[in-house]
Structure 1
Amino acid sequence: MICLETQYFNLNRILLLAIGLWPYKQSNFTRLQFILLSTILTTSLIFQCTPFISHKCTSDFIVKILSTASFFALFVIKYNMFSVNIKAVKDLLEQLQLICNELKDKNEFAIINEYGCSARRCTAALTICGICSLFAFFVAQFWSSILDKILSINVSESHHLPIPMEYFIDQEKYSYWILLHFNVSFCIGATAMVGIGATLIAYSQHTCGMFKIASYRIKDAMSNNMLQNINLENKFLIYEGLILAVDIHRQAMKLSELLVYKIEKMLFCLIIIGVVCLSLNLFLIFQIASYGDDIKEILFPFVFVTVCILYMFIANYIAQDLTDHNNDHFATVYDVQWHEAPLHIQKMILFMLQKGAKDFTVGVSGLFVGSLECFATLVKTSVSYFTVIYSTQ
């Protein structure tokens, strides 16, 4: 008996519980927790946009504001995307658990365990990356103070926000509270990005495991031992094996498509804003490096660019992995010794080959098809927009 929550989603559960988004624990306290954290995250984004009201909007100023605000917009969209669809995510995880409960063969348990361990490693790796990003984020804020302490430079202490923000209060007087609000919102957003992303990766990895099990069932049903001794019992076992293979393959495709369907609109927004964020921060890095501005200011856009590229790559790699596993299943059906089977079994195999001839892809709004090629296209588009912005300066 496999328990996904305790065996493979344990770290995901901890991360999502911390921000009130674990689907199985939705109490009144959790809802209050979500409202509080969502308010902190959303108001941080709002206060990053309010300088447009109180300052003169030059092109450089707009780029500087939007480069950070677009990154925090990714946090807000990601956080609310999961909360709005939390019941759907719970239903999908329960369906995945039911499928795992139906596994009987020890080899099938071994396959799902392999992919579950892979999901657990991915979650741990993403968590480490998230911690490193937080560390870099905090170092970037206090870099000047750290250098002054190391070099023993005596300067009058002044409190400056790491990015332009307007709270319409005395920001020098309340600087510690403003910094606290800003840093807490970043921690919430980073935890949401890691926790939600890792959960979707774990879900996809188990779906890939289902594709692998479907291939295993095909091989097992069409093994040489079965085909060399065709009798009534073996025919029944072949039929049963093929039916079970088709069933779990169909469920794997259904679960993949349902997940994307539920969050399709939010994913579309994430892609668009992610490209904008990457373009603006690339421009900011190039501008700082070219014009000899304070090199410390490059740390924030560098962190944002790194996170955007990493997230784009992982999302498209997972979609590519699903497509590859489906193609592997099709190749398995093609490679078995189906020509040695009785005619009626050959017809079933030919039907499966016809079904597999159509590519299975994970797409968003019919415009973006998740793949490594799509990742390259998004990065290329971001660089193109960066070039356009730079050419207008």
Structure 2
Amino acid sequence: MRKYKVCVIVVSQLSYKMHATEEYYNKINQLILKILGLWPYQQSYFAGIQKVFFISILSTFILAQLLLFITTQYSTNLLLKIFSFVLPILFCTIKYCFFIIRADSVKQMLERNRDNWKLLKDKLEIGIIKKYSYFANLFTISLMCLCCSGLIIFIIIQFLPLIFDFVLPLNESRSYRLIVITEYFVNQEKYIYPILFHHIVAIIVAIIALCSTSSTFFTYLLQTCALFSIASYRIENAMKWNILAISSPTKEHLLYRKIVHAVIVHRRAIEFIKFFTSEFTILFAILIVVGVSSLSLSLFQFLQLITLMNNITHTMVLALLIGIHIIYMFDANYAGQIVTDHGMKLFKVTYNGMWYAAPLQIQKMLLFIMQEGMVDINIRCGGIFAASLEGFATFQYSNSLLKELKACRTYYI
């Protein structure tokens, strides 16, 4: 009875320690999601106000740009100039709204990950998942720093006339033009600072929403990769000489138990990937269309501006925007590539282990494990595109886009 109580105390302490560790490594994402009102366990009245406030800022910023089609004569340049900024903000708004609509799915994702932490059995396995969680935190911080740097550059470019008036003053003030053109049905020269404040706040909200949602996905995908590594570690640990050298009955029992534990973790990781792909397939499909369209229009207008060389400020902002597009697409595809590589890891570890020294029944079991490990595990975006570095390097639209850009360049020359 005393031993049973001691075991219960040890297990409860280990469970509490793992839960505290998980909370510690997810604290950054949790904090940012709470600021945006997207934390799925946050169902207070204040969280509802946060959601309405942030959606209002983003939607009014998009609407203010689209209203230009009413007050300004339509042209291709106007269309490009408006949609080169509308689509990136729309991209961030869609991700923000989807997290609100599918709050239950986000909650399930968090709970599944929390249940996966309970499968860990020793310090080495906890160390593996801590390492991946550390990389996820590093990614979140790096992404926030990168986006904040882009925001600072944007603000500096926007305030260049004021900076030059202060550093190199002229007899008259320099003309002040907004980078993002909008229509508020007021005198923009008179209300330039409130309008500019709305622009900057909307862009800050969009950046934070993009970073928080993306880092949340990346964090839990990395922790799923940690499960694949733990499964591989358990298989590798089972196929050691000190276990294979034990007498036959005891050896078979130990091997069965260790292999079953490895398979359970592996199956949990596969189930999480399937859940993740199925629950967010609509989101990924919409984001692919909006993201590719946004990058295409930005590249098209960027080449226009380079050819004409009449607006250096807008060219710099578009170059910054294109860089953010490419970095985001690379990160998304790199996350998919990491999942695929870790999915194959169990097969490689099992194949390279000393399976030949195991009993015949164990060898047959390992054969089924290797067959399961040979199946490619990938993140399918929208059910049509598998996220990978190969997919990033071979954009389907690249050839046609280049032809259009060359034609455009020839036309304007």
Which AA in structure 1 matches 2:347? F
Matches of 1:361 and 1:65, distance apart in 2? 36
Q: In structure 2, what is the equivalent of residue 149 of structure 1?
A: 166
Residues 298, 322 of structure 2: 8 Å contact kept: yes
Asked if 1:2 is matched to 2:8, the reply is no
RMSD between aligned residues: 1.7
Which AA in structure 1 matches 2:275? L
Matches of 1:351 and 1:104, distance apart in 2? 24
3-state DSSP of counterpart to 1:167: coil
Asked if 1:259 is matched to 2:276, the reply is yes
Structure 1 residue 223: deviation in Å? 1.4
Residues 208, 322 of structure 1: 8 Å contact kept: yes
Matches of 2:209 and 2:338, distance apart in 1? 23
Residue 324 of structure 1, aligned match among 341, 359, 370 = 341
Q: In structure 2, what is the equivalent of residue 162 of structure 1?
A: 179
Matches of 2:296 and 2:48, distance apart in 1? 36
Q: In structure 2, what is the equivalent of residue 242 of structure 1?
A: 259
Count, aligned residues: 392
Residue 367 of structure 1, aligned match among 378, 384, 388 = 384
Residue 98 of structure 2, aligned match among 73, 81, 88 = 81
Residue 182 of structure 1, aligned match among 181, 196, 199 = 199
Matches of 2:97 and 2:22, distance apart in 1? 22
Structure 1 residue 104: deviation in Å? 1.5
- The more displaced of 237-246 and 176-185 is 176-185
Which AA in structure 2 matches 1:245? A
Structure 1 residue 170: deviation in Å? 2.7
Residue 294 of structure 1, aligned match among 301, 308, 311 = 311
Q: In structure 1, what is the equivalent of residue 52 of structure 2?
A: 35
Residues 276, 382 of structure 1: 8 Å contact kept: no
Q: In structure 2, what is the equivalent of residue 124 of structure 1?
A: 141
Residues 89, 259 of structure 1: 8 Å contact kept: no
Q: What is the TM-score when the length of structure 1 is the normalising length?
A: 0.95
Q: In structure 2, what is the equivalent of residue 57 of structure 1?
A: 74
Gaps of 5+ in 1: none
Residue 108 of structure 1, aligned match among 119, 125, 129 = 125
Residue 19 of structure 1, aligned match among 36, 58, 62 = 36
Relative distance call for 1:50 and 1:332 in structure 2 (3 A) is: same
Residue 332 of structure 2, aligned match among 310, 315, 322 = 315
Which AA in structure 2 matches 1:75? C
Asked if 1:335 is matched to 2:358, the reply is no
Matches of 1:377 and 1:26, distance apart in 2? 43
3-state DSSP of counterpart to 2:227: helix
Which AA in structure 1 matches 2:180? I
Q: In structure 2, what is the equivalent of residue 137 of structure 1?
A: 154
Residues 75, 193 of structure 1: 8 Å contact kept: yes
Which AA in structure 1 matches 2:122? D
Relative distance call for 1:336 and 1:113 in structure 2 (3 A) is: same
Matches of 1:284 and 1:318, distance apart in 2? 30
Matches of 1:208 and 1:352, distance apart in 2? 18
Relative distance call for 1:275 and 1:152 in structure 2 (3 A) is: same
Which AA in structure 2 matches 1:385? L
Relative distance call for 1:230 and 1:92 in structure 2 (3 A) is: farther
Structure 1 residue 382: deviation in Å? 4.9
Q: What is the TM-score when the length of structure 2 is the normalising length?
A: 0.90
Deviations 1:295-333 (Å, cap 9, x if unpaired)? 111122112111110100000000100000111121111
Q: In structure 1, what is the equivalent of residue 6 of structure 2?
A: none
Q: In structure 1, what is the equivalent of residue 8 of structure 2?
A: none
Structure 1 residue 383: deviation in Å? 6.7
Relative distance call for 1:166 and 1:382 in structure 2 (3 A) is: farther
Residue 220 of structure 2, aligned match among 181, 203, 214 = 203
Gaps of 5+ in 2: 1-16
Q: In structure 2, what is the equivalent of residue 388 of structure 1?
A: 404
Asked if 1:346 is matched to 2:363, the reply is yes
Matches of 1:178 and 1:335, distance apart in 2? 63
Q: Quick check: which has more Rg, 1 or 2?
A: 2
Residues 165, 174 of structure 2: 8 Å contact kept: no
Matches of 1:271 and 1:140, distance apart in 2? 29
3-state DSSP of counterpart to 1:2: helix
3-state DSSP of counterpart to 1:24: coil
Which AA in structure 1 matches 2:316? L
Q: In structure 2, what is the equivalent of residue 90 of structure 1?
A: 107
